[in-house]
Amino acid sequence: MNSLSIYVARESGLHKLNPLTKFVLSLCILLGGLAFSNALAGYVILFAIVTPLAMFGGVTKRMYQLVFNISWPLILSVFLIQSFFWGAGTPLFEIGPVSPKLEGVLFAFKSSGRILYVMANFILFSLTTRPDTLMISLKQAGLPGGLAYIIVSTLQLIPQYAAKANIILDAQRSRGLETQGNIVTRARALLPLVLPLVISSLLEVEERAIAIEARAFNSNRVETSILEIPDSQSQKTARAGMIIITILLIAGRFLWQLSS
């Protein structure tokens, strides 16, 4: 699929769920998880909730690859910064002026758990949900059609414009534009590359507008959809249930904080 989406097609039960159900589920995992302040909370959610869901969706390996690729620099820097720049605390060891603190390491451990589960949760959702089906269900739930169109078409068009940018790059290079070298040379090359791309894209906007208007984009009739989006009473109930549980968790967290 020639799109920015990381969606992986599978015949799994998770894939077959209504996109809104997955959307609500992943929102609940995100918000509900933040209600727990225990240092292990993030890891528990990752291994006890998100990982089994990923196994259900048949995308565990891909999910962990992406989570690892995206989060390792972040987690590394969290550990370095929190342990070495923690103010007062128990020093683990000392080398000259440098002394990592135990409290800092523990805090970094807790933050990393949160980073991992939030990321895994979001990646799992993207791996199992086609953006267009999500937009159709969000539209049915009341999102304006124009906005949904912009989001989905942008995901598809960005790779197309990236390809176009490469063509412009080649064209300008073949006319002798220096694009490699020090930062000044590179900065100078930017304008002749960006300008043609931006101007041609702006000109294309009008044509694209005509093309979608020619297909009754602004019609005021009730829209239908070629994609069948599965939904059921039990999924609707589940969505309502998940929203209530999340609200209760967050409310409980605030009450607990107020009382202590």
Partner 1 sequence: MAIVELKNVTYKYPLTDTPVLKNINAQVNEGEFVAVIGPNGAGKSTLCYTVAGFVPHFFKGEITGAVEVAGSESSKSNLHEWVLNVGLAFQNPFNQISGAKYTVFEEIAFGLENIGVPREEMIQRVNDAMKLTGISELADRSPYSLSGGQQQRVALTSILVMRPKVLVLDEPTSQMDPIGTREVFGVIRALAEKGMTVILAEHKVEWIANFADRVVALHEGEIIADGKPSDVLTSDLLAEKGFGLSRYTSVARKAKAMGMWQKERLPVTLDEAVEGFTLTLPSPKGRGE
Site string for partner 1, 124-163 (x = CB under 8 A): ------x-x--x-------------x--xxx-xx--x---
Which residues are 101's β-sheet partners? 91
Interaction of residue 223 with partner 1, rule CB under 8 A: yes
Interaction of residue 166 with partner 1, rule CB under 8 A: no
Q: How far is CA 74 from the centre of its chain?
A: 15
Interaction of residue 201 with partner 1, rule CB under 8 A: no
Specify the stretch interacting with partner 1 by CB under 8 A; choose among 118-126, 178-186, 218-226, 234-242. Answer: 218-226
Size of the site for partner 1 (CB under 8 A): 36
Closest approach of Cβ 254 to partner 1, in Å?
Answer: 41
Closest approach of Cβ 52 to partner 1, in Å?
Answer: 29
End-to-end, the C-alpha distance of the chain in Å comes to 52
Question: Cα separation of 6 and 157, whole Å?
Answer: 15
Mark out the alpha helices in the chain (DSSP H runs): 13-16, 19-34, 41-45, 51-57, 60-84, 102-128, 131-140, 145-174, 183-213, 233-259
Interaction of residue 37 with partner 1, rule CB under 8 A: no
Question: Cα separation of 32 and 80, whole Å?
Answer: 28
Interaction of residue 170 with partner 1, rule CB under 8 A: no
Specify the stretch interacting with partner 1 by CB under 8 A; choose among 21-29, 119-127, 204-212, 247-255. Answer: 204-212
Closest approach of Cβ 201 to partner 1, in Å?
Answer: 11
Q: Which is nearer to partner 1, 116 or 152 (CB)?
A: 152
The correct pick among 174, 180, 224, 260 for binding partner 1 (CB under 8 A) is 224
SS3 102: helix
DSSP 8-state assignment for residue 98: B
Site string for partner 1, 71-100 (x = CB under 8 A): ------------------------------
Question: Cα separation of 56 and 164, whole Å?
Answer: 39
Interaction of residue 216 with partner 1, rule CB under 8 A: yes
Phi, psi of 104 (to 5 degrees): -65, -45
Interaction of residue 221 with partner 1, rule CB under 8 A: yes
The correct pick among 220, 234, 257, 260 for binding partner 1 (CB under 8 A) is 220
Sign, CA dihedral 170-172-177-180, equals: negative
139 within 8 A of 148, measured Cβ to Cβ = yes
Closest approach of Cβ 3 to partner 1, in Å?
Answer: 7
Phi, psi of 64 (to 5 degrees): -65, -35
* Binding stretches for partner 1 (CB under 8 A): 1-3, 130, 132, 135, 149, 152-154, 156-157, 160, 204, 207-228
